[in-house]
Structure 1
Amino acid sequence: MSGNEGRSARAVVATAGHVDHGKSTLVRALTGMEPDRWAEERRRGMTIDLGFAWTTLASGTTVAFVDVPGHERFVTAMLAGVGPVPAVLLVVAADEGWMPQSAEHVDALCALGVRHGLLVITRSDLMEPELARDEALEHLAGTPLAGLRTVCVSAATGSGLDELRDALDDLIAGLPAPDTTADVRLWVDRAFTIRGAGTVVTGTLGAGRIRVHDELELLTAEGARTVSVRGLQSLGADATEAAGVSRVAVNLRGVPREAVTRGDVLLTPGAWLATDLLDARLHGIRDGIPVDVDDLPAELSLHIGAAAVTARVRPLGADTVRLRLRHPLPLRVGDRAVLRDPGRRVVAAGLTVLDVRPPELRRRGSATRRAAQLATMTGVASAAAELARRGIARRSELIAMGVTRPDVDAVARVAPGAAGWLVDPGRATGIAAELAAAVAAHDTDDPLDPGLPTEAARRAVGLPEPRLVEAVLRHAERAGSDTGLVLRDGRVARSAARSLPPAVRAAMDALRADLERTPFAAPEAARLSELGLGPRQVASLVKTGELMRIADGVVLLPGADKRALEVLADLGPEFTLSAARQALGTSRRVAVPLLELLASAGHTVRTPDGGHRLA
């Protein structure tokens, strides 16, 4: 691979500002590399596309530069370059001073949340730099970049370059450490083909780690596909892996060049939610100048990373909007982005993503209620808050939204869950009450078929997974909520005292009295008929756990099998069917299926001479 891409840098810094020739000359003087890749750029003295260079400072730290265009016609390319970087060299020429495009660059940087950088006054050999410096600092006042450390330099004479290198060392030392264990999201800012290698894409890796032979997901406007990493470079050198923050070049196996373009993104597979609908909070660029959401055009351009996507804007609250994107992007709660008005060529607002899976707004008043909800959201993903808003969510989806795994694990310890799903504790209590109502309604309609199968119960309360039914009932029990429900034999049913009709309840009480006197004397059909217990009533008693079916037409009280084992234990190591029948005080009609039941459960075994013994 080549293309001036890919040794690992401690930091990646964008060089921005209005003056183009001065920026490129400065980068060239710092690095000894040519950032302007095209002959036309060098001929015109104007950066047209992104340029890349790097150098090693006196401390041994390597820093990479992304040189972005300064002309207003190339703002989209500029935003693609500064989008993923953590720091900026804001370049102002001493002989030109602050320019309108400098302001748009600063607006974009502030909107994206860039807080670290240096103000560099270049061409200091052509004019005293103090006027340009003071003017620039005045324009930066009231922005998050106010008070940047300033260095005055001349690339032509070399004056100030050593001081600038020292300032870069200090800047980099103060940058937040990247999370090298994070999920990969590499925004593609270049794509090209190299003979013998195939398609290569480049970008700024802000966090995470990419290794040769990794499988990644390539997300484009047309959809997602799985790709393999054939090779890697970082700052011009081959590498087996690259970690953020760094400039990387990734050689993709089996991907045609025309399938990739600027703004596409390489992702850790299955770790991101691609969304074309999001809710966000807008913020002004400068202090005291809020964004009037009602004054925004209906359509703006959303810039994040190296991507630029048309977005339709729906105002919700005083500073919150819903955006519908032309195609999905992998976003997380807390992401920063820029909304730009291409028609007026201005940055309209910065935004912070609040929700990447927002609810539909179809009912009257739903937009107002949603605006009130958004007003309480901070842009920091919280497992408890997200689960409370959604009621039910997948663990993996919460993490993909931007919630940390430790936070999800902590919530999972108190929230009922199953099969990768979590239910908000408060919502679980409500669902348990809904289950009780659904079972009661069913039992009223069909009292002799009490309870609901687990799947039917799941559908009745809108749970996404049948195993959540048991989790919700366990939670209700731990919380002291008396639902009167039990889960038995794959059914959610009320306890017998609540579910049986009065006549069946009375008949069961009489039958229980019989069986308590003679536990193994299963009632004959005549006795059941006398009590008014037909096949449906008996089946209902078996379902509710009031009776234990031994065989067709043979029912005993629950636990009869365990009581039988206690009796049979007194018969010695081996016994006959006749001895068992006499000890149990029952008939052959009951003794035979009861012994078969015990054998099938592994409690007894047959002996070679046809007898029985306890296992």
Structure 2
Amino acid sequence: MQVIATAGHVDHGKSTLVRALTGVDPDRWAEERRRGMTIDLGFAWTGLPSGERVAFVDVPGHVRFVGNMLAGVGPVPAVMFVLAADQGWQAQSQEHWEAIEAFGVRHGLLVVTRTDLMDPEPALAEAREHTTWPAVTVSGRTGEGLDRLRHALDRLVAGLPPPDVHAPVRLWIDRAFTITGAGTVVTGTLAAGTLRAGDVLDLGGERVRVKALQTLGEPAGRVEATARVAVNLRGVDRDRVARGMTLLTPGAWVETGTVDVRHGAGERPPREAVLHIGSAAVPVRIRPFAPGTARLTLARPLPLRIGDRALLRCPGRPIAGVVVLDVHPPVLRRGGAGRRRAAQLAPYAADPDGPGGPRLPDAATVLSWRGVARRAELAASGCDLAGLQAPGADGWLADPELWACLAGRLGELAAAEPGLPVDAARAALGLPCRGLVEALVRARPPLRVEGGRIVGTGLPAPVAAAVERLRRELAAAPYRAPEADDLARLGLDARAIALAARAGLLLRLRDGVVLPAGADTAAARLLARLPQPFTAAEARTALGTSRRVVIPLLEHLDTLGLTRRLDDRLRVVATPDTSAGDTARDPAAAGAASRRGAPTASGTARRSLP
């Protein structure tokens, strides 16, 4: 089965067409039939020539009921857009079309009806200025063209992408009512996943059980997407359920009151609007970042994922589509935090939607924003974890670059306080669990945990203190490696440098160049942002350093496989994320890297963790 919304500003004619096509009157209320105007969502279904069945969600066309219209269009994969031959493309038709585009509905059929009243060609020509969807002309009153319409619907349904029937369920509720002897029933469009009688779902933070299911008026023990479905809930009072709520697979969704989005509202969106997604309509406050991105604060939490499409509606402004970029964004407390967040979102602000959909942050990017996050929370946020290379423990994952920083800081802490308790290290590093500290220790031989304490550093306290002084001095310009006199001033003579390098706290390159550990993987990340390939001079400028430093650093990156030489002048960056992550996770690799002068930890400033 497939589900199609019927939209367009042809209230009575649209309902007449659906009734002629299906034999079911979508206008459920007496007032709708009396006024000849669709007010609320209507539902009908029919069989197609191929044997496929299709359900229709008939939405209101009148401007006063746009909220109801959006609740019907939001969850569907395709639209039958209806125009009247005697009315043509009207202002309300345009608003419906803008909503369809904002929701990202790419599949549809244009139908010009009431051809018994007027030649359809003028209305069809108007519509062709807006869409190239296949078109059919019909008369719902006389039945002319209905067979062509059924075959066109068959072709539309056959071309829809297959739904993911194994996905977690998010059923946006569009109706709720009570049936005597059965109890509370809710209906919605199941866009993905599978529902079964007996399933336990989440409704508004409470667990509820599915008593029975129906689809297209028939009982069913199991319903797969895409489908119109009626869900009979066991022991749920009718007043606990309303349009805009959701039935969810427990633990598979992040219910959030704050999201960062890409928007199509022009240079600056309004300060307040209504967010429409699924069947929900929620007031939001809007904080713009750079052009094209903003933060939305919702009046109530919604179950959202990265990549979700929604729209913003504000009186006096065009409808604006939004794409969710982050469902658990960082709190913006300090000065400049908004600018930094805008810079993080900038790569996803102006990218046009391609055939595969909008450009979205991947799991590695989202993890870099979080620093540390639960694997399950990343999956529930909509991240594909299949290709993610990240260290972690006990269900937590860490950004590889942050992991290197934490490993370096752990070495400093262990050197300054031999026998440091694991719990004290966890608090000092801001980590959420002991398992992550123990994983860090395993990545930093000769460190080990004995009796709940970290032992085995062997680094004298004066050397650890000197490394910390170097780290602070280079915090603002990490690639301005100190000269020999400056190293001596910091307390780093040849012996101290050798000890610190063996402990993994310093990166020692040729020609006396000394940098904090982790500077090489961080440099590879920076160089990856340059147009590829790049020259040594371009690398020097990007890193803010001198030729004395950049040449041995690039040679070191070549040795690690983080960069690759193309000729005497040009290099390219090769998978810095994977290289950094592998070293952080594998103690053997870490030890080998330390022996050849590569970092296994970073002494750069630790980022704050969520």
Short-chain TM bin? 0.7 to 0.9
User: How many angstroms does 1:474 deviate by?
Assistant: 2.8
Report the aligned-residue RMSD: 1.6
Distance 1:347 1:455 in 2: 54
Which of 382, 394, 397 does residue 402 from structure 1 map onto? Answer: 382
Distance 2:457 2:124 in 1: 81
SS in 2 for 1:422: strand
The answer to whether structure 1 residue 387 and structure 2 residue 378 are counterparts is no
Higher mean displacement: 487-496 or 191-200: 487-496
TM-score normalised to the size of structure 2?
0.73
Task: Note if contact 2:99-2:319 (Cα within 8 Å) is conserved in structure 1.
Answer: no
SS in 2 for 1:134: helix
Which of 182, 197, 207 does residue 226 from structure 1 map onto? Answer: 207
User: How many angstroms does 1:476 deviate by?
Assistant: 4.6
- Indicate the residue corresponding to 1:461 in structure 2: 429
Which of 245, 255, 271 does residue 274 from structure 1 map onto? Answer: 255
Matches within 5 A, 1:602-613: none
Matches within 5 A, 1:376-525: 376-377=347-348, 379-404=359-384, 408-411=385-388, 414-441=389-416, 443=417, 450-476=418-444, 485-496=447-458, 498=460
- Indicate the residue corresponding to 1:554 in structure 2: none
Q: Which amino acid aligns with 2:156?
A: L
Matches within 5 A, 1:343-354: 343-344=315-316, 346-354=317-325
Rg (Cα) greater in structure:
1
Q: Which amino acid aligns with 1:183?
A: P
Q: Which amino acid aligns with 2:147?
A: D
Task: Note if contact 1:416-1:475 (Cα within 8 Å) is conserved in structure 2.
Answer: no
User: How many angstroms does 1:65 deviate by?
Assistant: 0.2
Cα offsets for 1:69-106 (capped at 9, x unmatched): 00000000000000000100110000111111100000
Cα offsets for 1:365-399 (capped at 9, x unmatched): 11111111101246535222211222211000000
Distance 1:379 1:308 in 2: 25
Pair 177,433 (structure 1): closer, same or farther in 2 beyond 3 Å: same
The answer to whether structure 1 residue 162 and structure 2 residue 147 are counterparts is yes
Cα offsets for 1:523-575 (capped at 9, x unmatched): xxxxxxxxxxxxxxxxxxxxxxxxxxxxxxxxxxxxxxxxxxxxxxxxxxxxx
- Indicate the residue corresponding to 2:227 in structure 1: 246
Matches within 5 A, 1:25-64: 25-64=16-55
Task: Note if contact 1:204-1:248 (Cα within 8 Å) is conserved in structure 2.
Answer: yes
- Indicate the residue corresponding to 1:357 in structure 2: 328
Distance 1:169 1:68 in 2: 21
Distance 1:114 1:72 in 2: 21
Pair 168,13 (structure 1): closer, same or farther in 2 beyond 3 Å: same
Q: Which amino acid aligns with 1:292?
A: G
- Indicate the residue corresponding to 1:447 in structure 2: none
Distance 2:82 2:399 in 1: 51
Which of 167, 175, 190 does residue 175 from structure 2 map onto? Answer: 190
TM-score normalised to the size of structure 1?
0.72
Cα offsets for 1:467-499 (capped at 9, x unmatched): 11121233355xxxxxx5332232112434647
Pair 308,379 (structure 1): closer, same or farther in 2 beyond 3 Å: farther
Distance 1:488 1:273 in 2: 38
Gaps of 5+ in 2: 349-357, 464-610
Cα offsets for 1:492-530 (capped at 9, x unmatched): 1243464799xxxxxxxxxxxxxxxxxxxxxxxxxxxxx
- Indicate the residue corresponding to 1:553 in structure 2: none
Pair 236,42 (structure 1): closer, same or farther in 2 beyond 3 Å: same
Which of 278, 282, 290 does residue 305 from structure 1 map onto? Answer: 278
Distance 1:129 1:88 in 2: 20
Matches within 5 A, 1:535-574: none
SS in 2 for 1:81: helix
Cα offsets for 1:107-166 (capped at 9, x unmatched): 00100000110110000010000000001111x1xxxxx201110001122111111111
Identity of aligned residues (%): 58
SS in 1 for 2:202: strand
SS in 1 for 2:443: helix
Task: Note if contact 2:115-2:137 (Cα within 8 Å) is conserved in structure 1.
Answer: yes
Gaps of 5+ in 1: 1-8, 141-145, 284-290, 444-449, 478-483, 502-615
Distance 2:223 2:460 in 1: 65
Distance 1:131 1:32 in 2: 29
- Indicate the residue corresponding to 2:310 in structure 1: 337
Pair 422,130 (structure 1): closer, same or farther in 2 beyond 3 Å: same
Task: Note if contact 2:271-2:287 (Cα within 8 Å) is conserved in structure 1.
Answer: yes
SS in 2 for 1:102: helix
Task: Note if contact 2:115-2:138 (Cα within 8 Å) is conserved in structure 1.
Answer: yes
SS in 1 for 2:13: helix
User: How many angstroms does 1:307 deviate by?
Assistant: 0.1
Distance 1:273 1:370 in 2: 21
- Indicate the residue corresponding to 1:176 in structure 2: 161
Task: Note if contact 2:102-2:319 (Cα within 8 Å) is conserved in structure 1.
Answer: no
Cα offsets for 1:217-262 (capped at 9, x unmatched): 012xxxx111110110000000001111000000011111011000
- Indicate the residue corresponding to 2:189 in structure 1: 204
Distance 2:248 2:208 in 1: 10
Which of 116, 121, 140 does residue 125 from structure 1 map onto? Answer: 116
Which of 296, 300, 318 does residue 323 from structure 1 map onto? Answer: 296
Pair 200,33 (structure 1): closer, same or farther in 2 beyond 3 Å: same
SS in 1 for 2:157: helix
User: How many angstroms does 1:417 deviate by?
Assistant: 1.5
Task: Note if contact 2:9-2:62 (Cα within 8 Å) is conserved in structure 1.
Answer: yes
Task: Note if contact 1:302-1:311 (Cα within 8 Å) is conserved in structure 2.
Answer: yes
Distance 2:190 2:444 in 1: 46
Distance 2:342 2:183 in 1: 49
Q: Which amino acid aligns with 1:389?
A: W
User: How many angstroms does 1:451 deviate by?
Assistant: 2.0
Q: Which amino acid aligns with 1:486?
A: R
